[in-house]
Structure 1
Amino acid sequence: MSHTLSPASAPAQAPTRLRSRVATVAGVSLVLNLLVWGLARLVGADFDVTRPGAGPMTVGPVMVAVMTVIPVALGGALTWFLGRTRPRAVTALAWVGLAIGLLTVPMPFTVEASATTQTALAAMHVVTGVVWWILLRRAVVR
């Protein structure tokens, strides 16, 4: 069975597709970041982190989930809001998300932590940025 969209229904479908795509970004990023976390634990990362001026903390799976899903949801809300009337904004924000992911790679190296912990946390920034870029770009192409 084939479905066609009439011009009147196509714009109404776009925000739903975009929300679905952002949810997919959050889910894929979460799974991959938890995989990075688990693999890093296997090779000795303790995920004990001390931020300047703050007490020590341990980054666990819940923290990984929160710090993955919340930024993606916020970026997704902005993308959905702007993308409703400006489809090109989705393309621009796909690139912005990639840039944020890559430009924040140094952040884990500003905290006191083992090298394996810092590297794993930095990898999570790259993972989320790249997943955001790939899946949002695919949303625009389709």
Structure 2
Amino acid sequence: MTTSATSSTSTAVAPPVWIRGLIAAAVAAVVNVVIRLIASAAGADMLVDAEGTSTAVTPAAVLIATTLPIVLGGVFVWLLARRTPRAQVLFAWVGLILGVATIPVPLLSAHDIATGLSLAPMHVVAGAAWFSAMMLGAKKTS
């Protein structure tokens, strides 16, 4: 008696870049709002100095500051990747680097250390969500 095993591998196709950008924006926004709410509940005053004025970091501000750059970046990369597929990988890394490189901004502009330490990881969350979304469907080159 002979048994035959067949391997059925299905190659999952990643959604288009612009959809992945929207998904990354939504995920990062939810995570960042949760971080903001936890920090506020833990006693962070959620105030930052912006151009000499104290500004409250509200959940709405977190939503806008998280989603707007990711959505605009997703549209930009979608338009660019249609002509240059490698742009997707390049801009994935650019977004991650920007997320990490901007960590000092909230640390230096926050009124208290708790606020700074809660806002800094939000930059990493946005950069990591962007990177993951862009690399998901990136073409591997050898």
The structure with the largest alpha-carbon Rg is 2
2:23 alignment partner AA: T
Contact 2:86 2:139 in 1 (8 A): no
Post-superposition offset of 1:141: 5.4
TM-score, with normalisation over the residues of structure 1? 0.83
Q: 1:140 aligns with which of 124, 138, 141?
A: 138
Distance 1:127 1:112 in 2: 18
1:42 aligns to what? 41
Q: 2:62 aligns with which of 47, 61, 64?
A: 64
Greater percentage in helix:
1
Which structure 1 segments of 5+ residues have no match?
1-12
- Superimposed CA distance per residue, residues 35-80 of structure 1 (whole angstroms, 9 cap, x where no aligned partner): 11111112111101223x4211111001001101111122112211
For the pair 1:25 / 2:24, whether they are aligned, the reply is: yes
1:127 aligns to what? 125
Post-superposition offset of 1:110: 2.2
1:79 aligns to what? 77
Distance 1:91 1:133 in 2: 9
Contact 2:46 2:110 in 1 (8 A): no
1:6 aligns to what? none
Contact 2:85 2:139 in 1 (8 A): no
For the pair 1:117 / 2:115, whether they are aligned, the reply is: yes
2:104 aligns to what? 106
| SS of alignment partner, residue 140 of structure 1 | coil
1:119 alignment partner AA: L
How has the CA–CA distance of structure 1 residues 136 and 112 changed in structure 2, closer, same or farther, with 3 Å as cutoff?
A: closer
2:52 alignment partner AA: A
1:3 aligns to what? none
Contact 2:47 2:56 in 1 (8 A): yes
2:3 aligns to what? none
Q: Give the number of equivalent residue pairs.
A: 129
Distance 1:80 1:43 in 2: 39
